[in-house]
Chain A
Amino acid sequence: NAGVTQTPKFRVLKTGQSMTLLCAQDMNHEYMYWYRQDPGMGLRLIHYSVGEGTTAKGEVPDGYNVSRLKKQNFLLGLESAAPSQTSVYFCASSSGGYIAEQFFGPGTRLTVL
């Protein structure tokens, strides 16, 4: 099993450009999450999904959109990137909300110039 994979691993964007981060999991998990990690701020939840076709906002959703068209995939989109979105992005999946262990991907390091 590959677990949780993220594509790409690194990306540099210019302000105003758009991009999509792909997260895939092969554990048949219902729940998937997108976090951003910034120095001194821990992990902050951007959006999450409790099942195929569902999405919900987390703590810091502004400037991001998500889609969960297939159970195994969770996409995070930036429509118009801003320097404040420079961060490391982590995807995670779990079988049961906050009760179950979250399995994390390796992260995507995004720099917006």
Chain B
Amino acid sequence: AQSVTQLGSHVSVSEGALVLLRCNYSSSVPPYLFWYVQYPNQGLQLLLKYTTGATLVKGINGFEAEFKKSETSFHLTKPSAHMSDAAEYFCAVGGGATNKLIFGTGTLLAVQP
């Protein structure tokens, strides 16, 4: 079985500060890992994904994530937060014989001016 844990349901940063959103996964097969973003009253959009190969993955809007197998982590970072980054972020894991993604419970990012 696969699962995802997102540490911190709410994260607040100042504009220009580093953004770090944490995601740990559990998977008995090589995982495929994703970060999605949800802006208010909208559906989810893909930020970035890790399938195989390079462990540092770059996504849209300046976000990136690093796959660390030894730590079973896939944390999302952005060097400098912008007001427009305020949204809810979801980590998800897939893999194996299933056709499904398992989503985490989400982290709501607030950016203070």
Q: Which residues of A contact B (CB under 8 A)?
A: 4, 31, 33, 35, 40-45, 48, 50, 56, 58, 90, 92, 97-99, 101-102, 104-107
Contacts and interface: CB of A to CB of B under 8 A. Distances in A.
Interface of B: 9, 32, 36, 41-46, 49, 51, 90, 94-95, 98-101, 103-106
Nearest to A42: B105
30 contacts: A33-B100, A35-B103, A40-B9, A42-B90, A42-B103, A42-B106, A43-B44, A43-B90, A43-B103, A44-B103, A45-B100, A45-B101, A48-B99, A90-B43, A92-B44, A97-B100, A98-B32, A98-B100, A101-B49, A102-B46, A102-B101, A104-B43, A104-B44, A104-B45, A105-B43, A106-B41, A106-B42, A106-B43, A107-B42, A107-B43
A35 B54 CA distance: 30
B88 to A, nearest CB: 9
Given A98-B95, A98-B100, 7 more contacts: A42-B90, A43-B44, A43-B90, A97-B100, A102-B44, A102-B101, A104-B44
Nearest to B2: A98
Nearest to B31: A98
